[in-house]
A = this chain, B = another copy of it.
Amino acid sequence: MSAPKKVVLAYSGGLDTSIILKWLQTEYGCEVVTFTADLGQGEELEPARAKAELLGIKSENIYIEDVREEFVRDFVFPMFRANTLYEGLYLLGTSIARPLISKRLVEIAKETGADAVAHGATGKGNDQVRFELSAYALNPEIQVIAPWREWDLTSRTKLIEFAEAHQIPIAKDKRGEAPFSVDANLLHTSSEGKALEDPAAEAPEYVYQRTVSPEEAPNEPEFIEVTFEKGDAVAINGEAMSPATILTKLNELGGKHGIGRLDFVENRFVGMKSRGIYETPGGTVLLEAHRGIEQITLDAGAGHLKDSIMPRYAELIYNGFWFSPEREMLQALIDKSQENVTGTVRLKLYKGSATTVGRWSDYSLYSEKHVTFEEDAGAYDQKDAAGFIRLNALRLKLIATRNRRVAEKG
């Protein structure tokens, strides 16, 4: 691997990525292009521009973009079509954002003639994998620089020294170590590390950043209606909205009602377990709603097939294989299933829970005529069930007969 000449850095404007920026300049003597994305993390982006300029980045090398709509439309929503949960519980809020960042890094590298990209993820986590697999899948020639795996700035003290030595501004509250590490975007906020490393100890309330505690949530439930078209949410309470607007609105509703908190110990792709505190208010509501609408619009064949491949799909996203043939194959399967997932779900939001209380659709497969306990006017002939059961039982009977025969023989 030759030394990179021009590097596109995923740049937040914070202290750590500022140190990386400077380190790239000094270590490799390379030109740095910064990419700062608004993924809905709730921070102003313009300060990142000022900071980048201060650190000597040419203005044509500063990319600041609002990618929230693309994020929700092309990443979050496709994932929610599968009712995706990693290890039964986790909504993959961090995982799903990484491929989009890598995609833009690689695209900007092409635009600017850069030969490398760089990210601020450590060598212990999943994010490095996600960033790099995506980058390599999109450009097999690209170099990826992961400073945390390379440098010797292995303590807070060394980092601060490096920052001071290179005139990187240090906010007062950044001198000490943060009590835990935070990642946020429009889908979720995750907190992990340090104060949260003991999985036996309850996470303190101050960890939570975008949801009130269920105890602090309103004492009255709130009812909302979410409308779907082909598997994607398109309206709340009858008002059509763009993907990012819908997720923003659901976050607001979910957060207010203390919905979407998760204290979770998960298996990282790199082989160790970690504990995270996740807040996914809008996503939690959206998952419940999507399941509600699928209940009446998907038949058993489609629904069960989707369910059976979901764990693998979730694993692929978690492990960083968004841009892989197998994820795209599974997506083709999932998207095929969503053609009639259109209709409206009514949900009750109350003190930490989002629960479906009603659902209706022009595409409904629910047939009151068939299921009714009342007279069904011949819609269903109960005698059919006898043959259905007898043929389903036939192989079980043959087994039992065999077992009996063998047992008698001894």
Contacts and interface: CB of A to CB of B under 8 A. Distances in A.
Interface of A: 83, 87-89, 122-124, 128-129, 132-133, 136-140, 146, 148-149, 154-155, 181, 193-194, 197-203, 214-215, 219, 221, 261-268, 270-275, 291, 295-296, 298-312, 315, 320-321, 323-326, 328-330, 332-337, 340, 346, 348, 350-353, 355-360, 362-368, 370-375, 380-406, 409
A335 B332 CA distance: 9
B199 A273 contact: no
B365 A299 contact: no
Contacts of A368: 197-198
Nearest to A364: B402
A360 B148 CA distance: 31
A240 B396 CA distance: 32
B140 A401 contact: yes
Contact of A87 (B303, B383, B402): B303
29 contacts: A123-B382, A129-B385, A132-B393, A133-B393, A136-B397, A136-B400, A137-B393, A137-B399, A149-B385, A201-B358, A202-B358, A267-B395, A270-B388, A271-B398, A301-B325, A301-B326, A307-B311, A308-B308, A323-B396, A332-B332, A332-B335, A351-B351, A352-B352, A352-B355, A362-B409, A363-B402, A364-B402, A370-B398, A384-B390
Contacts of A346: 200, 202
Contact of A355 (B83, B194, B263, B299): B263
A203 to B, nearest CB: 7
Count identical subunits in the complex.
4
Contact of A270 (B359, B366, B385): B385
Contacts of A268: 371
A89, A129, A146, A265: most-surrounded residue (chain B CB, <10 A): A265
A276 to B, nearest CB: 10
Contacts of A275: 366, 371
A337 B327 CA distance: 11
A123, A271, A399: most-surrounded residue (chain B CB, <10 A): A271
A392 B360 CA distance: 25
B367 A140 contact: no
Given A295-B265, A299-B325, A352-B352, A382 B149 contact: yes
Nearest to A350: B214
Contacts of A340: 402-403, 406
Given A123-B386, A149-B382, 5 more contacts: A133-B392, A137-B397, A262-B355, A340-B406, A352-B352
A187 to B, nearest CB: 20
Nearest to A365: B398
A370 B399 contact: no
A385 B387 contact: yes
B383 A123 contact: yes
A175 B275 CA distance: 56
Given A295-B87, A351-B350, A386-B146, A396 B324 contact: yes
A404 to B, nearest CB: 7
A400 B313 CA distance: 21
